[in-house]
Structure 1
Amino acid sequence: MSDQPLKKKRRWLPITLIFAGGILAAGLVNSALDYTNRTEFCVSCHTMQTNFKELQETVHWSSASGVHAGCADCHVPKAFFPKMKAKILAAKDVYHEIVGTIDTPEKYEARRWQMANAVWDKMRASDSRECRSCHSVDHMDFEEQDKSAAKKHSQMVERGQTCIDCHQGIAHKEPDEPKDAKTN
C-alpha cells in the first residue's frame, strides 16, 4: 500500500497551520486596535481627563440628532496603515504620561500649545481626513448654514483650506499662543 495520499495531506498541514495562525493573529491585532480606540481607554490616563471634559461640553459628544464622536473618531484614521502610524505615534502620549511631562494640569497646560499644533499639523497634512469621515463639503446644505459659514465652506477647496484651518477649537479648548512662540 502506498503512502502517497498521507504525504499529500502532510504537505498541506504546515500551510493550513500558517494560514490559520495568520487569521488568528490578524483577529487579535484587530481586537487590540478596537479596544485601544475606545474613549474609555483613551481617557484612562488621568492627563486626558482635561480633554475628555472639554469634549463632553461640545456638540461632537452630545447632539439633538444623537450623533456622537469619541476620541478615535477624530484622532485615529480608519484605513489600516494610517491607523497603525497613528497608534505608533500615540505612544509618545503614554511616554509623556509615564515620565511626568504632562502628569499635572499645570504641566499639561504648559505643553497644550505644542500638542495642539502637532494635532493640527497632522490634520492639515491629511486634509482633515478624520473630520471628513463625517463631514463632507459635497453633502453640505449651504442654504441651511448661516451666510458666513456657507460662503467659507463653498470656497474652502479653491482656497486650499481644510477643516482644521477654521475649526481649531471645535472639540477642545483652543490654547493661547505662548508669547515666545511668535518670536521663533
Structure 2
Amino acid sequence: MGASLGAAMIFFVAGILFWGGFNTVMEATNSMKFCSSACHEMTWVYEEYKDRPHYKNPTGVGATCSDCHVPDDWGPKMIRKIEASREVWHWMLGTINTKEKFEGKRLHLAENVWRSMLRTDSRECRNCHDWSAMDLEEQAPRAAREHARAFEQGQTCIECHQGIAHELPEDWDESEVWLARFAHEEPETDLAERGEPAMPLEAEDLGEAVAAEGDIAASWIGTTCRRWT
C-alpha cells in the first residue's frame, strides 16, 4: 500500500512538473521576444509590424505576433504548433534565409496566412474585435461604411485588412486569394458599381482617415481583448 501510494505521488508530481515545463515552453514560444529574434528571417517583418497600429498606438495596447498567428483555444493551438515544425524544417533548409529569398516567397507566405484566416472566419482577429462592440458612429466615414457592408454580406476581417500588420507583396493584386475575396452569394457587378475597394484598405492613401481608423482599432483592442476581460 505504501509503495503504491509513493508511486502515485511520484507520478503526480512528475505530471505537474511536465505540464508546468510544457506550458512554460509554449508561452515562451508565443512571446514577442521569441518571435522577433529566434530566427533572423522574422526581423524583416518585425520591422514592418513596428510601424503599424497593432504595435504602437495612442492607447498603448497592442497585439503581438501570437495574438494574430496562434489560436487561443488549446486544440487549435496545438495544431498550429505542430504545423510550425514544418517552418522549422524550412528554416534549417534556408528556404528564406536572405531578404531576397523572403521577398520572392512573400506572396506565397501571405496567401497561406490569408487562406487560414478565411477558413477560420478571422478567428484570431475576433479574439479582440467584435462586430457587436463596434460603434460605427465613432468610426471614420470610410471605415463605418465598409464595416456596415461587411457585416451585412457576411464578410470576414481578412478580406479587407490583408495589409493590417505587414507590407503587402508587390504582386498582391495577382493573388487568387485577393481576387476571390468577395466571392459571396450576390449579383455579380464590377467593383466600382458595388462600391468595394479596388485594393486593401491599408494600401490606400486615406490620409487622416487611416490615422483615425488606427486609433479606433487600438481602442477596440484595449476594450474588447479577452485577455484583459
Given the two structures, how large is their TM-score scaled by the length of structure 1?
Answer: 0.87
Question: Match for residue 57 of structure 1?
Answer: 51
Aligned CA distance change for structure 1 residues 94 and 79 (closer, same or farther; 3 Å)? same
Give the greater-gyration-radius structure (CA): 1
The one of 12, 16, 19 aligned to 2:9: 16
Count of residues in Structure 1 that have an aligned counterpart in Structure 2:
175
Aligned CA distance change for structure 1 residues 179 and 124 (closer, same or farther; 3 Å)? closer
**Is the counterpart of residue 47 in structure 1 residue 41 in structure 2?**
yes
**Is the counterpart of residue 169 in structure 1 residue 140 in structure 2?**
no
Secondary structure (helix, strand or coil) at the match of 2:137 reads: coil
Secondary structure (helix, strand or coil) at the match of 1:64 reads: coil
- Contact 1:137-1:154 within 8 A present in 2 as well: no
Deviations 1:122-156 (A, max 9, x none): 11111111111111111111001123322322332
Indicate the larger mover: 36-45 or 108-117.
Answer: 36-45
Secondary structure (helix, strand or coil) at the match of 1:29 reads: helix
Letter in 1 for 2:28: Y
Given the two structures, how large is their TM-score scaled by the length of structure 2?
Answer: 0.71
Indicate the larger mover: 34-43 or 114-123.
Answer: 34-43
Letter in 1 for 2:115: D
| CA–CA distance in structure 1, aligned partners of residues 121 and 12 of structure 2 | 37
Gaps of 5+ in 1: 1-6
Secondary structure (helix, strand or coil) at the match of 1:171 reads: coil
Letter in 2 for 1:113: L
Indicate the larger mover: 55-64 or 146-155.
Answer: 146-155
Question: Match for residue 106 of structure 1?
Answer: 100
**How do residues 85-100 of structure 1 correspond to structure 2 at under 5 angstroms?**
85-100=79-94
Gaps of 5+ in 2: 177-229
- Offset, 1:177: 2.8
| Percent of aligned pairs with the same amino acid | 43
- Offset, 1:23: 1.6
Question: Match for residue 145 of structure 1?
Answer: 139
| CA–CA distance in structure 2, aligned partners of residues 95 and 111 of structure 1 | 16
Secondary structure (helix, strand or coil) at the match of 1:129 reads: coil
Letter in 1 for 2:97: D
Aligned CA distance change for structure 1 residues 158 and 19 (closer, same or farther; 3 Å)? farther
Q: CA RMSD in A?
A: 1.9
- Offset, 1:110: 0.5
